[in-house]
Amino acid sequence: MKKKEGFRHIENKKAVTSVYVLLRLAVIAMMVAQFFNGNYENVFLCVLTLILFTMPALIEWRLKVDLPDTLEIIILLFIFAAEILGEIRAYYVKFPYWDTMLHTMNGFLCAAIGFSLVDLLNRHDKATLRLSPFYMAVTAFCFSMTIGVLWEFAEFSMDQLFLMDTQKDTIIHEFSTVMLDPTNKNVAVPVRDIADVIIVHSDGTQEALGLGGYVDVGIHDTIEDLFVNFVGAVVFSTVGYFYVKSRGKGRFAKRFIPQVVEDNAGEETP
């Protein structure tokens, strides 16, 4: 008799199972509290989080790979930190660098995933493509940056279509713009020492916001997110390069690179 392929590794994942159960219980408790408080949007976020928690196991089953415990735990913590702590507990607002930390981690994890996809293809018997360690690192880097850019597109779309603020604003005190050039010759005119923003409503009334500067609508946040994504991608691409170069001897990289589950690994003796 045979077990289902791809589930052999679950037996030894006690640490992953413990983290998964604890986080799932925390999310369920949060969902119940948000329901009784009437915050149904947060209830949806909790349901989404519970669904996302199943993704690592689904990937393992569908692709017949074994995700390292370290990678799987970080993915679960990342989802919890982004959706529950970041959105519902407002850590994005309470802690200025919370979003930066998550985007850095996202760059690192996406580079690990991209590197893993190429590594699995490289080692597959039926694959005719073989990439050098350098091109594997470049592919992982490009994969990570592409995911980062697509995520910024998603944030921008949410802000424009649903008037959200996923691309957080930044208070700045100077900028330059060609829109203020009286000669219309595409000359950037600097505007400095900005102390406040005054909103003029359609009825002519004015409202000073008292922000202490000008509101940059998401540009600084987007560039900063892409930059830290870049840093995370470069770090893992470099680690992955030396991992392949040394023929898989690096202990650190092994914690983030999935392994193929052999077809006969799930067989039981009669």
Instruction: State which of 95, 117, 148 marks the end of a domain.
Output: 95
Beta-bridged to residue 190, according to DSSP, are 176
pLDDT digits over 10-27, tens only? 445 788 999 999 999 999
**Alpha carbons 76 and 46: distance in angstroms, whole number:** 13
List the chain residues with pLDDT less than 50.
1-11, 264-270
Question: Is residue 174 in some structural domain?
Answer: yes
Are the C-beta atoms of residues 20 and 56 closer than 8 Å to each other? Answer: no
Query: Which residues constitute the domain of residue 196?
Result: 170-216
* pLDDT score recorded for residue 263: 55
Structural domain count, the chain: 3
Q: 130 and 245: one domain?
A: yes
Q: 204 and 91: one domain?
A: no
Q: What's the whole-number average pLDDT of the chain?
A: 87
Q: 117 and 181: one domain?
A: no
pLDDT digits over 167-192, tens only? 988 999 999 999 999 999 999 999 99
Instruction: State which of 95, 118, 141 marks the end of a domain.
Output: 95
Q: 183 and 106: one domain?
A: no
Q: 8 and 48: one domain?
A: yes
Q: 74 and 159: one domain?
A: no
Q: 49 and 174: one domain?
A: no
